Amino acid sequence: MAVSSDNTFVATPDKVSGGLLFRELDAEGTLPTDATTALTAFVEGGYISEDGVTKTVDASDDNIIAWGGDTVRTVRTEHNLSYTFTFIESSNVNVLKLIYGDENVTVDASGNISVKESSKLQSRKSFVIETFDGDKKLREVIPNAQLAVSGDITYVHSDVVRYECTLTAFPDPADPNFKAYTYRSSGKPAVVVGG
């Protein structure tokens, strides 16, 4: 394949979902295995700050050294896959339930929201990150991840309230060899061979 600027991708979030969707681990329907299949049972997450989502792969490898100093083997001793982002919709009930837990967020008939905060981590969920570049699409599927919020939450007249979040990916229950899947669509119509 020749070098081409068409092979670049600028990740713009989906304008409906905000770019991040989630669902319960035991939700009905299979997880997507491509970039274009409609998502089932997923909840929209809301706006993320302009910094977008940062994916971090943190791996530690050790070299096994033989007598005489030669490296004879490399072993992986640690592997962590995480995603960091900042929610900026602090009055979005979906966001609040994801952060604090369904049972800790209530909304009354007038739309007033109450949140109970504890030190408890919320249950693991499945997540999807949806991004577009024109007609091209990139979808990251994280089957088993846990969200944690850390950092300062600032109430100030010159900015919106922000929640700094980290998603830690765990092995996929369906195939523990993998923690996440990335799917890309070209945005081009399918080529029919023959006929």
d(CA 82, CA 70): 34
Which pLDDT score, from 0 to 100, does residue 189 have?
A: 67
The amino acid sitting at 63 is N
d(CA 171, CA 177): 7
Range with lowest mean pLDDT among 16-25, 126-135, 137-146: 16-25
Report the percent of the chain where pLDDT is more than 90: 70
> Alpha helices, DSSP H only, in 56-92?
none
pLDDT of 99 > 80? The answer is yes
17 vs 79, more confident: 79
| Interacting residues of 35 by C-beta distance below 8 A, sequence separation 6+ | 137, 138, 139, 183, 184, 185
CB 170 within 8 A of CB 124: yes
CB 106 within 8 A of CB 97: no
Which pLDDT score, from 0 to 100, does residue 3 have?
A: 79
Report the percent of the chain where pLDDT is more than 70: 95
**Helix-, strand-, coil-residue percentages of the chain, each rounded to 5:** 5, 40, 50
d(CA 181, CA 127): 11
pLDDT of 17 > 90? The answer is no
Q: What is the rounded average pLDDT of the residues 71-87?
A: 93
Which pLDDT score, from 0 to 100, does residue 190 have?
A: 61
Q: What is the rounded average pLDDT of the residues 26-54?
A: 91
Q: What is the pLDDT of residues 132-171, one digit of tens each?
A: 988 889 999 999 999 999 889 999 999 999 999 999 999 9
| Interacting residues of 176 by C-beta distance below 8 A, sequence separation 6+ | none
